[in-house]
Amino acid sequence: MNEVIKIQALKDHHIWLRFKDGEEKTVNLRPFLGKGFTAELLDQSKFEKVFIEPGGGIAWENGYDFCPNFLKELKSEPKELV
């Protein structure tokens, strides 16, 4: 099972992830933000409050979350370009 073990919020709504299997990737979450209760996460200071859930996914205080399997499938972007 996929599990996120380390994260770092980056600029422009990107997040760097390390998975339990050692894979590291940077993903752009901007396409998933902006409507309904996700609109508040467009504020970078709120976006940066991301944390790892007990099941290995990521989440924010407002309850928005991503499961680790979904994150594993997202296209990676070069961290140095973010």
CATH topology of domain 4-81: NE0471 N-terminal domain-like (3.30.2020)
What the block records as the tokens of 9 is: 């919020």
Domain boundaries, the chain: 4-81
CB environment 40-77: b (16+ within 10 A), e (fewer):
ebeeeeebeebebeeebbbbbeeebebebeebbebeee
At a CB cut-off of 8 Å and minimum separation 6, what does 17 contact?
4, 6, 7, 24, 25, 26, 27, 58, 71
Band (79; pLDDT cuts 50, 70, 90): low
| Two tokens, residue 36 | 């309904």
Q: How confident is the model at residue 12 (pLDDT cuts 50, 70, 90)?
A: very high
- Kindly report the average pLDDT of the chain as a whole number: 94
pTM confidence score: 0.91
Q: Does 11 have pLDDT greater than 90?
A: yes
CB 68 within 8 A of CB 5: no
Q: Give the pLDDT of residue 48.
A: 97
Asked whether the beta carbons of 5 and 56 are under 8 A apart, the reply is yes
Average pLDDT over residues 54-66: 97
